[in-house]
Structure 1
Amino acid sequence: MNGLIVFNSASDVVYRCLNSPLTQKIRNVAVAQGLLPAGEQESESPLDSNILLQIFSPIVGSQRIMQCQFDNAYSSLQCEQGFNLVFGELLGFTFLKIGHIPVEQLGRQMGVAITLTRYCYGANLFAAQAGAMQQELLTQCLDCYESLLGEEDQAYLLEAMPKLLVNAELKRTIHLTLDATLEHLRQLGLPRAHALLFVSHKLLAVNSTGQALPLSAADLLFLSLMSRAMQSPKSPAQRAVAVFLQGVSHDVNSGCVPSIVHISRLHGNQVLLQIIEYANMPLTSCIYDSFFVLQKIISVQHQGDSDALKPAYENLESFVGQTLTALKRYAKQRPEDMENCYKKFATKWENLRKMYAEYFKNFEREMLVRIESNLPSFGEELKQLFTLACCDSSSVHELDQLADTAANVEAKLLEFAEFLAVKATRNLSIDAYLEDFPGLVHFMYVNRSSGHMLAPDLRPNQLVPKTKLWSMVEIARSYLKKGQTTVMWKDKAFHYSYFLWFEDQSGSTLSTSMDLQQHFLATGAASGNGTKSPTEPGALTMDYYHDLAELCFPKISPGKVRVYELYCIHLGLVTATCAVEHARRLVATISDVVGEETL
């Protein structure tokens, strides 16, 4: 049983994605409680949202009371027979993940679900203006991740993108082809664009124009997941979808990058993604950040925290001011409906600003009630502003020509198509490393700064069972969350080792003076209670490694710190000293043979 239900601030169900066993379980409970007539257990009709609301409203209501009154909301509920629930929150929406799996695994699925929601909707969560296409995309991505990739693909186990290794000459040819594609897009009036080429779900090349916002590790993983989720025998060879990428964390315009992704399925299991950024990024970034600041002040007012209200308001005032300034700069390009929305937004903000100024003079409860009654309409105007400024891709007029561009790429790479298809199935084998590293049976090398990984492909007859591999990663993550960046352990068959380290841009190792273990224990980060420290390793769930680099090296820009991970599995007879030496030589071998530009 597995599913996701999302409730808005009024506790109405705005989204649900339930598999058949969970749907049947809920239907049985509804009949037992008299919410459905007897005999409805076997009905195949969709569950009514009111049924879900009546069954889950006590849990959701209790969650919100704990959050509003005590600022101590539930993170999860563990029930009998392994049936568990995990809570999440995004912009006032309550996410409820339900499953017959361990809480830790369910929590990771919850983090991915929230991230995918942001990618599909931006800030306008589950709004009617977003349309059915965004909801369908979210459902497809969730189903693909949870039913297939999360338990089968080591790329999604690690949340990193596998690179397809090819020789330098072929790599150069591919990059020149994609550069020509981007130049054609520039000539079409699309100066901010990316071109990505996948072969059998492995990343072969990424090219970007100079004006485009760099793609983050999570962006690459999401784009791969999306293309796989939308791949079926009945799917058209060409398709375009609207998404909201996040960009790299150290860029001021990151967080929400409205984009059109044109997916083209080419010969030989190749997939070309042409990504067009179309919105005014400084404006989009300001509006997007304003949603989170607005939600923060709403939360503070619900909790009645008068001490936190003044700084929360000052933060909101700053971001709204930046939004209004960006809108003024955008004035020459504004259509009439945008002009009207801008005026309404500015008027509502001016009214709110005056109310807050009055409240901070006397701290009268009546004025706070007036503020709270005006915040929802202000939020609606902010949503309308986001829709007009960030979701309108009508300025992208040349989408019909992207299919022709993809055809040109396919023609130029046709002579390599069969080679690339075969190479993707045999990208890297552990057999190539056995002579130099006796006893090594599997490894996974990850550049967390780029989001790329290198690992031998999993095979049906491999020596290491998948269950051992998944368990290894879970154990390593549990120790990392406690501040341990080097871990070794053994079972009856294998010797496992995990290493995380930092390097600067020149490749020199960086050492931190911070005792991560003591810091995580002191802040409660290991148990998920920390407010600043990262808590859950991953790229899709959150930008964990960026936060970790910022925590360890506060005086260095996170964009200048590279984070690496290495997982190794040896036969149990291999000693710890030998495993460490293998790890050191393996990293050097990968750097020398593959090259940093690939990973």
Structure 2
Amino acid sequence: FGDWSAFRCHVRVGFCFCVKLIVKLGTQCPSSVNTLFVCLILIPNLHSIVCWNKSTQLFPRDPFVLPERLKMRCILVFDHLNDIIFSKCDHKFVSHVKKLGSFQGLDTNGIENECEDMDLNFVIQLFSPIVTSQRIMSSQFGNSYTSIQCQDGLNIVFDEYLGFLFVHLGFREIPWLKRVLGVCMSIMQHLCGPDISVLKTNRPRSTLVGRLLDTWSALVSEDQGFLLEAIEQLTVNPELNSVAIKALSDATDRMKSMLDQPKSHALLFVGNKFLALYSSKSVRELSAGDLLFLSLMSVWCQKEASNLPRPGSRSESSCSEFYSPDASPKSLQENGPLVDGSGSASDLILLSVDDKPASSPNVIHISPIAEGVTLILLYQTVYESLSVGLIDTFNMLHALNVISMSNTEIDGLKKGLENLEPASKKVFEAVKKLKSSDLSPKIEGSVKLLHSKWEVLKKQWSDHKKGAANSTSILSCCQNMNNTYKDLLRLTVLNRSSIPGSQASAHVIRQKVTASLVHFQSFLQAKALRNFTLGSREYLNINKYLEGFPGLVHFIYVDRVNHRIIAPSYDFEMAKPEGNLTKNQVWGMVDLSRTHLQEGHLAMMWRDQSFCYAYYLWFEDLSGTPLQPKVSVPQAMKMLPLPGVISIDFYKRLIEICFPRMTHSKIRCFELYCIHLGIATSSCVLEHSHRLASTICEVSGIPPNPLDIL
């Protein structure tokens, strides 16, 4: 056990033997494969037994009898070789791994305390059985695990993207673990595109992923907008709104004149709340998922800027809540700060293109213009068409790789190659449209190499049809092409070399926007803390709500077309004794509503000892006429992901499934949460809900939307 590389090789050989045995058994009795395979492979390392097929439940025989349940959590990302390319865990996970190592007779003296590096080789050994099982069940039988539940409450969830396996374990509920894992995948796609493997070697990139995950975790536990994955827009007077839009319009004009970037956006965030957006005429509209990601980056930048060392101050290192082993960097100091001394940050991110997430490369400049007020400048690079073609190509190559491990290899190989060819043609056409100034010798060399490899692939396929070549040679050629496509991706779409040249112009634009809003800075800083409240006396329209809705304690209204949220800021710490609504009650209301929504319930009402809660989801056309779903909602929910927007737009998919023969752009979807005092009757709550949906424009300026739940 001294030579870890040799040991890992030995373990993998053993896995291959087990895999072949199970595949052979599976051809005789496929229904028993899941249980058999996990029994043979999981028991040695995880000390577990399997009770049920598919919805697998593991009952660990942990050799350590702990005085209390070990509530550890960890996110791991494995590549196709089952090596860890990204990891994020807490100290309890590190401690538990150390104890497992000691139990198996391994030397763990290298981990002197919980802030030291953790040996990822041992972690790979622990997880290899279950990762291998997951991959075989997916490729051979199309019946992969979505989650595993253990007797002591530990849950493990899985997801996959282009052959990268994402694993999240913890003692939280499975839907929550899945949600966090989906957010993690979305962050990686925005920062890395299809090249997730870069996280293994690019320490600053991996650091940023971890910091954004920490920021999201903090926001989702405190902010209603992030809890519901919706954008909260500040309620400001027309004068300020006009000044902000004018300042952002001038900013996009300057990006065009100073940087020669006609496709740009300029945004203002106050805290994590959205103030204003101006987009140039030729640019694509930002999606709600993109806006949430930009809001997340804005808050992250604010926090990083506040933690920058001041002149003359001394920084003290301490163990943070999360711990990142070698595959992920531990601290910003090891690679220099991601935020400069002025609190600004510049980077390259990928935004959505129509229904394709993380496909459009954009340079982003984030700059503070006042405390809590952030300006974001975005401009689209020239490689968008190339990026879309490359992502399609990577998807086709991944599909071919899956086919190679399945039992339908011969039939699927032809279809896979037929799908790969148009995707590759899209790449070559996008390269031809680039200006000569955007083509370097390395890019041209990669394109020529791809052309030659395509000719080799065509010849291999022709020989295969004649029986002169096997599928292994074709798949080997595809793997070589995949590496060359990845090189082209890094040379073009993910190339960050032009960012420093635009930072000086971004600084000038920031100064101009700051000067335009200098008289409103104090007001915006106050709005960052509280947008509006039901108890506010400074706005007449809020008083109307107080007078018209007696017993109403709190409400949340969400337009699920543009994902804008309208909700009073509620200070849970300063809540009055007679209306002692707690944050846990609001967050619990959302969790319970989501659970029942996934079961197909679009309207519900329930009570506890203090309050009456109500939730509604409804559809209407552009004229405001209510629409009823054309299919069974409970059946439709079975085909949908978790409710949310950041990873996948659940509500857009819901509209598409519920109204299959209608123009989806003409259908609107809304959500409404209401909390009344417990003495309110059901008829009163229903009547308030109707009027609230119809008169919300008095607060927001949004056109009224009648709620039809009867």
TM over 0.5: yes
Whole-angstrom distance in 2 between the partners of 1:229 and 1:195: 18
Whole-angstrom distance in 2 between the partners of 1:130 and 1:175: 41
Contact 1:550/1:558 (<8 A) preserved: yes
Q: Aligned partner of 1:292: which letter?
A: N
Aligned pairs (5 A) from 1:464-479:
464-479=581-596
Query: Which residue does the alignment assign to 2:118?
Result: 47
Greater CA drift, 3-12 or 422-431: 422-431
1:493 Cα offset (Å): 2.3
Identity within the alignment, %: 33
Q: Aligned partner of 2:574: which letter?
A: N
- Partner SS for 2:221: helix
1:7 Cα offset (Å): 1.0
1:495 Cα offset (Å): 1.8
Query: Which residue does the alignment assign to 2:240?
Result: 170
Contact 1:35/1:51 (<8 A) preserved: no
- Partner SS for 1:514: coil
1:4 Cα offset (Å): 1.0
Q: Aligned partner of 2:125: which letter?
A: Q
Query: Which residue does the alignment assign to 2:377?
Result: 274
Whole-angstrom distance in 1 between the partners of 2:111 and 2:528: 49
Query: Which residue does the alignment assign to 1:336?
Result: 441
Per the alignment, do residues 184 and 572 of structure 1 end up closer, same or farther by CA in structure 2, a change over 3 Å counting?
Answer: same
Query: Which residue does the alignment assign to 1:461?
Result: 574
1:181 maps onto 2:251 in alignment: yes
Per the alignment, do residues 590 and 551 of structure 1 end up closer, same or farther by CA in structure 2, a change over 3 Å counting?
Answer: same
- Partner SS for 1:353: helix
1:482 maps onto 2:599 in alignment: yes
Per the alignment, do residues 107 and 518 of structure 1 end up closer, same or farther by CA in structure 2, a change over 3 Å counting?
Answer: closer
Query: Which residue does the alignment assign to 1:580?
Result: 686
Q: Aligned partner of 1:475: which letter?
A: L
Whole-angstrom distance in 2 between the partners of 1:256 and 1:519: 28
- Structure 2: which 5+ residue stretches go unaligned? 1-71, 309-338, 536-541, 706-710
Q: Aligned partner of 2:345: which letter?
A: A
Cα offsets for 1:241-286 (capped at 9, x unmatched): 3343333635xx7641111211111224211111121132222111
Query: Which residue does the alignment assign to 2:81?
Result: 10
Per the alignment, do residues 448 and 150 of structure 1 end up closer, same or farther by CA in structure 2, a change over 3 Å counting?
Answer: same
Aligned pairs (5 A) from 1:553-564:
553-564=659-670
Whole-angstrom distance in 1 between the partners of 2:622 and 2:343: 39
1:112 Cα offset (Å): 0.8
Whole-angstrom distance in 2 between the partners of 1:256 and 1:183: 25
Per the alignment, do residues 72 and 415 of structure 1 end up closer, same or farther by CA in structure 2, a change over 3 Å counting?
Answer: same
Greater CA drift, 148-157 or 506-515: 506-515
Cα offsets for 1:82-117 (capped at 9, x unmatched): 222111111111111121212221111111111111
Whole-angstrom distance in 2 between the partners of 1:559 and 1:291: 30
1:574 Cα offset (Å): 2.1
Contact 1:31/1:41 (<8 A) preserved: no
Per the alignment, do residues 504 and 287 of structure 1 end up closer, same or farther by CA in structure 2, a change over 3 Å counting?
Answer: farther
Q: Aligned partner of 1:161: which letter?
A: I
- Partner SS for 2:344: strand
Query: Which residue does the alignment assign to 2:531?
Result: 427
Cα offsets for 1:435-494 (capped at 9, x unmatched): 211121111111222222111113123332111212211121122222222222222322
Query: Which residue does the alignment assign to 1:195?
Result: 266
TM-score (normalised: structure 2): 0.78
Query: Which residue does the alignment assign to 2:172?
Result: 101
Whole-angstrom distance in 1 between the partners of 2:111 and 2:439: 53
Contact 1:443/1:456 (<8 A) preserved: yes
Contact 2:200/2:206 (<8 A) preserved: no
1:418 maps onto 2:541 in alignment: no
- Partner SS for 2:158: strand
Query: Which residue does the alignment assign to 2:230?
Result: 160
Query: Which residue does the alignment assign to 1:353?
Result: 458
Contact 1:492/1:572 (<8 A) preserved: yes
Cα offsets for 1:153-205 (capped at 9, x unmatched): 22221011211100112111110111111111111211111111111221111
Whole-angstrom distance in 2 between the partners of 1:120 and 1:454: 29
- Partner SS for 1:119: helix
1:395 Cα offset (Å): 4.7
Contact 1:162/1:452 (<8 A) preserved: yes
- Partner SS for 2:386: helix
Query: Which residue does the alignment assign to 1:373?
Result: 476
Query: Which residue does the alignment assign to 2:344?
Result: 239
Per the alignment, do residues 218 and 409 of structure 1 end up closer, same or farther by CA in structure 2, a change over 3 Å counting?
Answer: same
Greater CA drift, 272-281 or 388-397: 388-397
Cα offsets for 1:290-333 (capped at 9, x unmatched): 21222122112212224444433322222122222222223644
Aligned pairs (5 A) from 1:34-433:
34-37=105-108, 40=111, 42=113, 44-127=115-198, 131-146=202-217, 148-188=218-258, 189-230=260-301, 231-232=303-304, 233=306, 234=308, 236-247=341-352, 249-250=354-355, 255-306=358-409, 307-330=411-434, 332=436, 333-359=438-464, 367-395=470-498, 397-431=501-535, 432=542, 433=545
Cα offsets for 1:42-61 (capped at 9, x unmatched): 36420122121112111211
Contact 2:636/2:658 (<8 A) preserved: no
1:554 Cα offset (Å): 3.0
Query: Which residue does the alignment assign to 1:499?
Result: 616
Contact 2:694/2:704 (<8 A) preserved: no
Q: Aligned partner of 2:587: which letter?
A: W
1:518 Cα offset (Å): 3.5
- Structure 1: which 5+ residue stretches go unaligned? 526-532
Whole-angstrom distance in 1 between the partners of 2:357 and 2:164: 22
Whole-angstrom distance in 1 between the partners of 2:679 and 2:464: 71
Whole-angstrom distance in 2 between the partners of 1:239 and 1:317: 43
TM-score (normalised: structure 1): 0.91
